[in-house]
Amino acid sequence: MISTGSAATDSLLGGGVREGMVIDIYGESGSGKSQLCFTLCANCAKDGSKVVFIDTAGTFRPERIVEISGSSSALEKITYMRALTTLDQVNAVDRVLDINPQLVVVDTLTSLFSAEYSGPARHLAVMKHLHQLALLAINSGCSVVVTNMVRTAPITVIDQAGRNVAQRVVPSQLREYLGSSVSIYSHIKIKLEIVDAAKSMFRALLVQPAGKSPAQFRITAKGISEIED
């Protein structure tokens, strides 16, 4: 297993990020998705294991890996792949097989598909890519971590008169982008939320499988860490 850097978050995941699984991490901008990925990369590299980071949005920060791990040698264990198109993103998974990493990160999963596809074709393309990632995780025994966006979606509750009564109370809510399609091939889903941005306090909720209490964590110079009492 790979530690997230927070014992509470590790406990939420049953001990950490497990091999052979696809872990979907989603949340609004600034909720810690990329920082969690950087911490996982640093912790994995420090243990001497290989990492592949597939970057679709220009989020990778090598200086953060060095800062979190405490050594520039951690970067030697990380293979960086910049995907500018969905074809780049899909082909990157085929190149992973030759590297045999313990951890594969895709940050972010849906941004390029959002730009290049529309309608049902977008859902089908994302599901096909996730199926490819799930097979990679299962057959290679590596951990696959993907991040995803959230979008504002209207809430609909229709009364007997055909009116949307939900709009009067809560007009909209944040939902994972293409969440229904992403859920099909994700073994574990985590939602990250901002608790107090000024104090760098955040919360992780286990959405799939559900049932556990949320875990709080802090983002520091050393990445994801505990919230001290």
Res 169: pLDDT: 46
pTM: predicted TM-score of the whole model, two decimal places: 0.90
| pLDDT level of residue 172 (50, 70, 90 thresholds) | very low
- Bigger pLDDT: 19 vs 167: 19
Q: Give all strands (DSSP E) within 57-125, no chain letters.
A: 78-82, 103-107
State the burial class of residue 133 (Cβ atoms within 10 Å of its Cβ: 0-12, 13-18, 19+): buried
Q: In 3D, which of 50, 120, 121 has the Cα closest to residue 79?
A: 50
The whole-angstrom separation of Cα 13 and Cα 185 is 17
Please answer whether residues 77 and 48 qualify as being in contact, where contact means their C-beta atoms are separated by less than 8 angstroms: yes
* DSSP assignment letter at 213: P
Centroid of chain to Cα 46: 21
Token code pair at residue 209:
């499988």
Q: In 3D, which of 52, 40, 38 has the Cα closest to residue 96?
A: 52
Q: How many helices and strands (H and E) does the chain possess? A: 8, 11
Domains and CATH numbers, the chain: 7-225 (3.40.50.300)
Percentage of residues of the chain with pLDDT beyond 70: 90
**Tens of pLDDT, residues 7-23:** 999 999 999 999 999 99
Is pLDDT of 171 > 80? Answer: no
